[in-house]
Amino acid sequence: MDLVAVLSEAKTEVLDEAAEGLARSHLGHYDASGPEEQRLHLEALFDVVVDCLHRRELVHVAGYAEEIARDRFISGFGIGEVQTAFNVLEESMWRQVTTKVPAEELSESLGLLTTVLGVGKDALARTYVSLASHQHVQSLDLRAMFRGTGG
């Protein structure tokens, strides 16, 4: 069975499971946004991933991940929060693929899926690092640690 068909047919199941995983993670910014908005974000990422699998190209997922990184960085999300959203979706997609794709197609299917999501996560991380390195971050004043208690 075709990977794109498997994922498309399981879309609701994948998104339900990913949304539950994201909710269980108790991530501050995602919790504040509410379950409907979380699901919309997961669905948008799902659609990008499936589109890239269908087209056999990676440009769209990289651009989308960069856009997400900029938006979430500006909104104060930590990179770990956004990576968790990618990860819960990936886990749910993997679960569908491993149970519905025939064994002889499994290796290629998982390789394709991992490649698309890996490129997305790489673009996400690179964009976050780039944004953070241009942002002034106050360093910690550690002098008090080395003074001793003197008491």
Cα-based distances in Å from 98 to 3, 64, 79, 110, 127: 10, 26, 28, 8, 31
CATH number at residue 115: 1.10.490.70
How confident is the prediction along the chain (151 residues), in pLDDT tens digits per residue? 699 999 999 999 999 999 988 766 655 545 456 557 778 989 999 999 999 999 999 999 999 999 999 998 988 888 888 888 899 999 999 999 999 999 999 999 999 999 999 999 999 999 988 988 875 444 445 555 455 555 4
Global pTM reads 0.81
In a domain, 58, yes or no: yes
In a domain, 149, yes or no: no
C-beta separation of 27 from 41 below 8 A: no
In a domain, 146, yes or no: no
In a domain, 130, yes or no: yes
Which residues neighbour 145 within 8 Å (Cβ) at sequence distance 6 or greater? none
Q: Report how far residue 89's alpha carbon sits from residue 84's, in angstroms, rounded to the nearest whole number.
A: 9
In a domain, 105, yes or no: yes
In a domain, 62, yes or no: yes
Considering its fold, how many domains does the chain have in total? 1
In a domain, 140, yes or no: no
Query: What is the residue type of 33?
Result: S
Residue with tokens 């990936």: 90
Domain span at 107: 3-134
